[in-house]
Amino acid sequence: MAQAPTTARQAARRTARRHDREILALAVPAFGALVAEPLFLMADSAIVGHLGTPQLAGLGIAAALLTTAVSVFVFLAYATTAAVARRLGAGDLQAAIRQGMDGIWLALLLGAAVTLGVLATAPLLVEAFGASPTAAPHAATYLRISSLGIPAMLAVLAATGVLRGLQDTRTPLYVAIGGFAANAGLNLALVYGAGLGIAGSAWGTVIAQCAMAAAYLAVVVRGARRHDASLRPDAAGIRACARAGAPLLVRTLSLRAILMIATAVAARLGDTDIAAHQVVLSLWNLLAFALDAIAIAGQAIIGRHLGAGDATGARAACRRMVQWGIGSGVVLGALVVLARPVFIPLFTSDPAVRDAMLPALLLVALGQPVAGVVFVLDGVLMGAGDGTYLAGAMLLVLAVFAPVALLVPALGGGLTALWWAMTLMMAARMATLWLRARSGRWIVTGAVRS
């Protein structure tokens, strides 16, 4: 009589190991690609920094504007991943690649529109950002030239979503590494070898981004030809991609609004608190890369299960990924606590900034298991194509966070109080996502979410 429970436990362990292998196979390369992206800016900063402070300040302003312009369209990757994975699960590779091409065409159209807008308004954008008279010309130069690469950047987002949906996260890693190496080499050659200064750095980045887009397109086009999928733009397909991405755009804008409010509140607390906040926020973002890698695996795996009509498999994968999120959060939180004596001195020698950072860092560490659940369930619901709920949930979280954060300076709170508000924000996100995951309403099977 004891044989059945033992066999059931063995089967459960085998299923868990299978999920673990699949999650790791997708998440580890995804993490590498995510980390490679910020290295572009780091390489540019290291090279341009030797030209002078005005050039480096100009790069910082232009890069912030470009990052904002591109990051709001991250739905191109998320929505495409889910849609392609569904069709893959349904066994229709031709339709999966066709869906991916629609996403890429949408990316190119959006990129062209953003480029035209930036070219027309670059000096005004730089001025609105508060650039100094010495930094403004360098910022405008870098912004104008780099904007030419925006269509390529957005095409890279969409093509990355295609490959993730096809359960391939290795190719994006290889392309990201190649792009970083090309960017660094071109920057050195054009900034110093050709004597182009900050314009050379911008051109190097544009060329590297275009090369990355070309590499992605070569892979997607080869797959399209292999499966006889059309490469021509399809108006109906492009409109469908835009409709699917619109809720995720709302979600992304709401999240960026939360981060902007937090930074604005920290700035009102004084120079010490804003300096400490920027360091803590940078670490928070770095930790997010590790957790987002699991979320990316979730998008691809959940989309495939639902496309194949496997609701049971989707639920099982969701449960296992939540366990991964919690475990990863515990490990990352412990690392933050243990490594704090090492990395805090790397960022500042000011005792006041260090003192302000420490309680906030401990809150970040404490909140990592919650963050792990948030990122994983975010990925699960994206993979299910549940964008409308994600948009509404993030707007609700923004409505909860904004008044609490804005009350911090009014009530005499400091940076620690602000990061308690950030912790509340993550707890609110977890609550909304957990309730949705428990309800099962996200489980809609089929090649297309109807």
Average pLDDT over residues 210-221: 95
Following CA atoms 255, 57, 279, 357 in sequence, which dihedral angle do they give, to the nearest 10 degrees? -120
Of 100, 73, 6, the C-alpha closest to 249 is 73
Least Cα distance to 157 among 176, 174, 170 occurs for 176
Higher-confidence residue of 350 and 93: namely 93
For residue 138, the SS3 value is helix
The closest of 70, 434, 437 to 249, measured between CA atoms, is: 70
Q: What is the pTM of this model?
A: 0.87
Mean pLDDT for the stretch of residues 211-228: 94
Average pLDDT (6-31) is 81
Task: Provide the pLDDT confidence category of residue 172 given band limits of 50, 70 and 90.
Answer: very high
pLDDT at 19: 79
The first and second tokens of residue 434, run together, are 């957990």
Give the residue-averaged pLDDT of 149-173: 93
**Higher pLDDT, residue 11 or 198:** 198
CB 389 within 8 A of CB 381: yes
Residue linked to tokens 């890369």: 289
Question: What's the mean per-residue pLDDT of the chain?
Answer: 89
Q: Which two tokens stand for residue 43?
A: 């390489």
In this structure, the number of other CB atoms found within 10 A of the CB of residue 51 comes to 18
pLDDT, one tens digit per residue, over 24-73 is 888 888 887 787 666 666 677 778 878 888 888 888 788 878 888 888 89
pLDDT value at position 211?
96
Which is more confidently placed, 324 or 263?
A: 324
Residue 444 is classified by DSSP as -
CA–CA dist 116, 144 (Å, integer) = 10
Percent of the chain with pLDDT over 70: 96
Per-residue pLDDT reduced to its tens digit, 110-132: 999 999 999 999 999 888 877 77
Calpha distance 165→76 (Å, rounded): 12
C-alpha to C-alpha distance for 124 and 145, rounded to whole angstroms: 15
Sign of CA dihedral 13, 19, 21, 27: negative
Encode 305-325: b = buried (16+ Cβ within 10 Å), e = exposed. Answer: bbbbeeeebbbbbbebbbbbb
| pLDDT score at 1 | 47
Pick the more confident residue, 234 or 348.
234
Confidence class for position 5, pLDDT limits 50, 70, 90: low
Mean pLDDT, range 308-336, rounded to an integer: 94
Rounded CA gap, 184 and 47, in Å? 8
Distance CA 340, CA 191 (A): 36
Positive or negative CA dihedral for 354, 357, 363, 366?
Answer: negative
Q: Which among 235, 98, 85 is positioned nearest to 167, based on CA atoms?
A: 85
